Amino acid sequence: MPSPVSPMDLHMTDLATLSQHARHIPEALQAHSQQLIQRFIETLSPLQLSVFEHPQIALTALKVCICSEFVRDSWLRHPDLIQSLVNSGDLFSASRRDQYPEHFTINSFSDEAELAKALRLFRRREMVRIAWRDLAGWADLNETLSDLSALAELCIQTALNFNYQKACQRWGTPTLADGRPFNIVVLGMGKLGAWELNYSSDIDLIFAYAEQGELNGKQEISYGEFFTHICRSD
């Protein structure tokens, strides 16, 4: 009858297995690598650790997490994050940003707090994906800048659409002189406008609307006040 395996034995097996992936790390970072491996073992379940069985993850995980505190801490705080990116194939996709416009349906959010939470979770997931591909050497500069710019545009557009819809329900819908409904135009300036957004870029926006007018619902409000409310919403 086989002898039972103790938790300590399992721990040592995981440590020995993961330590094999540190062989390609420079000598000066070996101590850091071992500390990181220890944190993975203490934080991740055996199922979550199984992501290291993927050859591309095994070759890049320690390097990426040593280089990026954001990726490392995001993984440790949200242990299923990397497994999700691997299982979906998103981590290995160079065209993930093409799917962004289809990701959010604004009617699925009941209020701003729910929308804000969904955007934060989505942003964290995608920022980890973008940073991982960048640091692993899987993405060139153009892909990284384009992904960051597309992510910013999606978050801005989703928030704008939601706030516009809620404002229309409250005050009515602004229309042009010919009766057509219209929304505000958001212009991305600087690096966002050039689609060269990097990790630390500020986002500068200009808001513009086509015509002056007033909405005469329960509360009279000018188009300027209407769109100012949208732009200032959290």
Q: Model pTM?
A: 0.86
Instruction: Round to whole Å and give the CA distance between 20 and 33.
Output: 11
How distant is the alpha carbon of residue 190 from its chain centre?
Answer: 21
Residue 26, pLDDT score: 78
Place of tokens 């990026």: 68
Residue 10, pLDDT score: 37
Residue 30, pLDDT score: 81
Residue 7, pLDDT score: 40
Q: Which of 94, 196, 105, 205 is nearest to 148 (CA)?
A: 196
Compute CA distances 122 → 53, 140, 213, whole Å.
26, 22, 36
pLDDT at 77 over 80: yes
Q: Which of 1-5, 26-30, 39-43, 224-228 has the highest mean pLDDT?
A: 224-228
Q: Which of 217, 111, 212, 226 is nearest to 164 (CA)?
A: 226
Q: pLDDT band for position 12 (50/70/90)?
A: very low
pLDDT at 230 over 80: yes
Compute CA distances 139 → 23, 87, 134, whole Å.
23, 19, 5
Q: pLDDT band for position 142 (50/70/90)?
A: very high
- The residue extents of the domains of the chain are 1-82
Q: In this predicted model, which residue has the larger pLDDT, 16 or 25? A: 25
**pLDDT tens for each residue of 19-39:** 776 777 777 778 888 888 889
- How does DSSP assign 42-101, residue by residue? HHS-HHHHGGGGSHHHHHHHHHHHHH-HHHHHHHHHSTTHHHHHHHHSGGG-S-GGGGGG
Instruction: Round to whole Å and give the CA distance between 165 and 81.
Output: 31
Residue 77 in tokens: 């705080």
Residue 111, pLDDT score: 87
Q: In this predicted model, which residue has the larger pLDDT, 120 or 218? A: 120
Share of the chain above pLDDT 70, in %: 89
As a whole number, the mean pLDDT across the chain is: 87
75: phi then psi, degrees, rounded to nearest 5? -65, -45
pLDDT at 172 over 90: yes
Classified as helix, coil or strand, 219 is: coil
Residue 2, pLDDT score: 41
Residues 77-97, mean pLDDT to the nearest whole number: 96
